Amino acid sequence: MTVALGKHLLSMADLDRVDIERYLDLASSFAEVQKRDIPKVPALRGKTVVMAFFEDSTRTRTSFDLAARRLSADVVNFSVSSSATKKGESLRDTVETISAMGVDGIVVRHASSGVPNRIAEWTDASVINAGDGWHQHPTQSLLDCFTIWQRLGTGDNGLEGLKIAVCGDIKHSRVARSNVEAFSRLGAEVVVIGPRTLFPPSFDGWPVKVEPDIDAVLPDLDVVYLLRIQQERLNEGLFPSTREYRAQYGLTTERARRLRPGALIMHPGPMNRGVEIDPEVADDKQAVVLDQVAAGVPIRMAVLFGLIGPGQAVDRNEFDRIEHEENR
Amino acid sequence: MTTTAFRGGTVIDQGGRRPGDIVIDDSSGAIVAVEEGSPADRTIEVDGCYVVPGFVDIHSHLRQPGNEMAETIESGSRAAALGGYTAVVTMPNTDPCTDSVAVVSEVLDYAADALCEIKPSAAITLGRSGEALSPMAELVAAGVRMFTDDGTGLQDAQLMRRALEYASGLLTDDGTSIVLSQHCEVSALSQGGVMHEGAWSSRLGLGGQPAEAEELMVARDIALSRLTGMRVHLQHLSTAGSVALVRAAKAEGHPVTAEAAPHHFTLTDAECAGYDPVFKVHPPLRPASDVEAVRDGLRDGTIDAVATDHAPHTPDSKELPFDTAPPGMLGLETAFALAHTELDLEMERLVELFSTAPARIAGLADRQGGPIEPGRAANLAIIDPERTWTVDRGALASLASNTPFHGRSVTGMVRHTVFAGELVVVDGKATR
């Protein structure tokens, strides 16, 4: 059975549970490819992917870049510093110009929420959201789900029964917005922890429970997901000091000790050691931050393959068949 | 003298509803007769139509001088005429700002050939910077009757108090009064907000403006009106709290008036879900409960007038990301049809909201806003209440196309518009 995964990946709202599980399943195959001597398959040979990063990003761009190349796609980097947008060209003109060159996928990162949604209206190519403003970061969510699923997943039951806390600056976090959606869709119970000033104005419609006290839930958690505290938020006066933030909400060494054995400590990076996470905790074996990064490439391979691959369908057998034919 | 008669329609103004044939002297532009069967040289049949005083918009951005790519006085006045308007008060956020007699004169020069009366408002403070008063007495002498720092509320309460007190001592040559009109928004609270703060902004990851940012300034200006005894006009009320505050202030007898914009009684913040900046406006689109409260305010008289906040923007500026695109939407060509379609109101009340009350607020009542009677200037809108049409952003007379109502079906069409006796719109088409 193959299931079409739609044309674009703009938000976790685009994916139901079956879609997410197919991506995780497919990413498992690609993770095996990664271990080979030549970690490359010809699945997207002849396809062109443009990396349109309107906001600086090293990790996400590198991860997408590697994913596309390992699928044998042609990759074009659209670098903003040298691009037309700096010369006053409208976003729409820029997108239409890229599209006119004939591309199959556009990977978009932008500092403003909703830009990938708008771009999807202006192009025939598949648009993949690589993070937009405070809105969504769906491939981060998929790689986080993959990381949890590989270590704590319950076979065919996704993340059923797991209790996950997302801590920190929920309001300004695209990772938080897409992760609470992803985790709960896979069956996990999600709690959010943080100061009210870093919460969105409303949690209406969010599948979360608000927990004011991190210490009250620590022993029950399967995953603690820490968000980065940006200096900018301190400058805006959203909390008194990083010292007080660490005392109230940080995953200190003392708090980490009260986590149950086997519970995971996660962070989308880059970490502020000594603020949201103590340095020793970041280096603890329960912290899977590097596993998250490692999961990025196979997950993004799965997404690129799912959206612009042959038949725009995702199925492990399909992938195996293509590989088999190519290798013949 | 040659005369033109509009025969067969139902006349509605502050005097009520009655059959009448309205005869106009083509050379003087005045109404000469209103009785059925009055003789005239030429006749235009308007059976089944309402003949009402031309509409008066007390809140339009016609962008000239400064942004003639988006709108000009000419194109904006054509849009107004097509919407049934015979007078428009222009907002002072031009470039340069309308804060001097020179700019007022420039606007009036552009208005010489306009398809409706153009009445410039002027800024309360120089450059709308909220720091020092504009030369209000000079501006009044040049014909200005409404002052506003529209776009940004006047944040400094002390300066607003001074402006009210200073304006109360100014004399006009025609006995009309002066009004200060406020865009109610406490910027410290709305800062960074690009839509209404609530469930939708939270989900979409966009900065929000809480309803309280508007309501705090509504409450403040009601208090300042009480303190100074001076009339205050509150622009584009958009929240249930604002409507309640104005309702209470009126019950206590304070001289406040208020307006509402068509988008605030027809659209909710859910429209922002697709991130299309055509739905970005200040004050922002609000949840359904606020929309309902604005409708109630229009119904019960708390809100005196419908004002469009017509805000043209070039297409490229509305193709920016939602958070960086400029706020504002078109209104002149669709306002009446939307109110007629969406508000369950008698035509008499609509005439008050669109014509009589705004003409009074803007100091234009001697020639705009009715009554329709001999000797008055012929400023008329003739409405076909049955005609259904579809809003088409490509077919608008405005130079801009940023209407949020594209594709919407509405009932009630402006068939003819008469401005100072001239037929500027005939059968829904501008004559020049």
Predicted local distance difference test score (pLDDT) of residue A319: 61
Q: What is the CATH number of domain B55-361?
A: 3.20.20.140
Whether the pLDDT of residue A324 is over 70: the answer is no
Whether the pLDDT of residue A327 is over 60: the answer is no
Predicted local distance difference test score (pLDDT) of residue B1: 81
A171 shares a domain with A264? yes
Domain count, chain A: 2
Whether the pLDDT of residue A94 is over 50: the answer is yes
Whether the pLDDT of residue B297 is over 80: the answer is yes
Q: Residue B221: in which H helix or E strand, if any? A: helix B211-228
Positive or negative torsion for Cα B82, B88, B93, B98: positive
CB of A197 within 8 Å of any CB in chain B?
A: no
Q: Nearest chain B Cα to A135, which residue?
A: B205
Average of per-residue pLDDT values in chain A: 91
Per-residue pLDDT band at B256 (split at 50, 70, 90): very high
CB of B26 within 8 Å of any CB in chain A?
A: no
A168 shares a domain with A278? yes
CB of B188 within 8 Å of any CB in chain A?
A: no
Is there a contact between A118 and B204 if contact means CB atoms under 8 Å apart?
Answer: no
Q: Helix axis angle, B288-300 relative to B240-251, nearest 10°? A: 30
A23 shares a domain with A89? yes
Per-residue pLDDT band at A79 (split at 50, 70, 90): confident
* Number of other residues whose CB lies within 10 A of the CB of residue B383: 30
* B28-50 residue pLDDT tens: 999 999 999 999 999 999 999 99
* B199-218 residue pLDDT tens: 999 999 999 999 999 999 99
Distance CA A85, CA A52 (A): 11
Which residue spans of chain B are classified as CATH 3.20.20.140?
Answer: 55-361
Is there a contact between A118 and B197 if contact means CB atoms under 8 Å apart?
Answer: no
Tokens 């500027």: give the residue. Answer: B424
Contact at 8 Å (CB) between A16 and A296? no
Nearest alpha carbon to residue A70 among A35, A103, A44, A91: A44
Task: Give the distance between the most distant pair of CA atoms in chain B.
Answer: 66
Whether the pLDDT of residue B227 is over 90: the answer is yes
A121 shares a domain with A41? yes
Find the CATH number of the domain harbouring A304. Answer: 3.40.50.1370
Whether the pLDDT of residue A326 is over 60: the answer is no
Q: What percent of chain A has pLDDT over 70?
A: 90
Q: What is the mean pLDDT of residues A199-218?
A: 96
Q: Residue B5 phi/psi, 5° resolution?
A: -115, 140
- Per the annotation, the verdict on B304 as an active-site residue is no
Residue ranges making up the domain that contains A194:
138-291
* B370-426 residue pLDDT tens: 999 999 999 999 999 999 999 999 999 999 999 999 999 999 999 999 999 999 999
In angstroms, the separation between the Cα of residue A39 and the nearest Cα of chain B is: 37
Nearest CB to B202; choose among A92, A110, A201:
A201
Predicted local distance difference test score (pLDDT) of residue A320: 63
* A268-321 residue pLDDT tens: 999 999 999 999 999 999 999 999 999 999 999 999 999 999 855 455 566 666
Whether the pLDDT of residue A121 is over 80: the answer is yes
Distance CA B76, CA B62 (A): 6
Residues paired with residue A106 on neighbouring β-strands, in sequence order: A50, A127
A253 shares a domain with A168? yes
Predicted local distance difference test score (pLDDT) of residue A1: 39
Whether the pLDDT of residue B137 is over 90: the answer is yes
Whether the pLDDT of residue A250 is over 90: the answer is yes
A302 shares a domain with A281? no
* A22-78 residue pLDDT tens: 999 999 999 998 889 998 999 999 999 999 999 988 899 999 999 999 999 999 988
Catalytic residue, from B309, B344, B384, B427: name it. Answer: B309
Whether the pLDDT of residue B273 is over 80: the answer is yes
Predicted local distance difference test score (pLDDT) of residue B371: 98
SS3 B415: strand
Beta-carbon-side half-sphere exposure of residue A266 (alpha carbons within 13 Å): 29
Contacts of B198 in chain A (CB under 8 A): 201-202, 204
Which residues does B174 contact at the CB level (< 8 Å), separation at least 6? B363, B366
Predicted local distance difference test score (pLDDT) of residue B216: 98
Predicted local distance difference test score (pLDDT) of residue A325: 59
* B324-366 residue pLDDT tens: 999 999 999 999 999 999 999 999 999 999 999 999 999 999 9
Contact at 8 Å (CB) between A109 and A131? yes
What is the ipTM score, two decimals? 0.92
A152 shares a domain with A42? no
Which residue spans of chain B are classified as CATH 2.30.40.10?
Answer: 3-50+375-430
Residues paired with residue A3 on neighbouring β-strands, in sequence order: A314
A94 shares a domain with A180? no
pTM of this prediction exceeds 0.80: yes
CB of B197 within 8 Å of any CB in chain A?
A: yes
Q: What percent of chain B has pLDDT over 90?
A: 97
Is there a contact between B321 and A114 if contact means CB atoms under 8 Å apart?
Answer: yes
Per residue, the 3-state secondary structure of chain A, as one string, reads CCEECCCCECCHHHCCHHHHHHHHHHHHHHHHHHCCCCCCCCCCCCCEEEEEECCCCCHHHHHHHHHHHHCCCEEEEEEHHHCHHHHCCCHHHHHHHHHHCCCCEEEEEECCCCHHHHHHHHCCCEEEEEEECCCECHHHHHHHHHHHHHHHCCHHHCCCCCEEEEECCCCCCHHHHHHHHHHHHCCCEEEEECCHHHCCCCCCCCCCEECCCHHHHHHHCCEEEECCCCHHHHHCCCCCCHHHHHHHHCECHHHHHCCCCCCEEECCCCCCECCCECHHHHCCCCECHHHHHHHHHHHHHHHHHHHHCHHHEECHHHHHHHHHHHHC
Q: What is the mean pLDDT of residues B284-309?
A: 98
Contacts of B211 in chain A (CB under 8 A): none
Q: What is the mean pLDDT of residues B87-102?
A: 98
Which residues does A116 contact at the CB level (< 8 Å), separation at least 6? A8, A10, A108, A110, A127, A128, A129, A132
* Token couple for A10: 């703009």
Q: Nearest chain B Cα to A173, which residue?
A: B205
Is there a contact between B275 and A113 if contact means CB atoms under 8 Å apart?
Answer: yes
Nearest CB to A205; choose among B203, B320, B321:
B203
- The domain at B3-50+375-430 falls in which architecture? Roll (2.30)
Distance CA A64, CA A56 (A): 14
A287 shares a domain with A174? yes
CA distances from B410 to B116, B331, B350, B386 (A): 24, 14, 16, 10
Poorest-confidence range of A88-97, A98-107, B312-321?
A88-97
Per-residue pLDDT band at A198 (split at 50, 70, 90): very high
Is there a contact between B323 and A113 if contact means CB atoms under 8 Å apart?
Answer: yes
Is there a contact between B202 and A200 if contact means CB atoms under 8 Å apart?
Answer: yes
In angstroms, the separation between the Cα of residue B152 and the nearest Cα of chain A is: 22
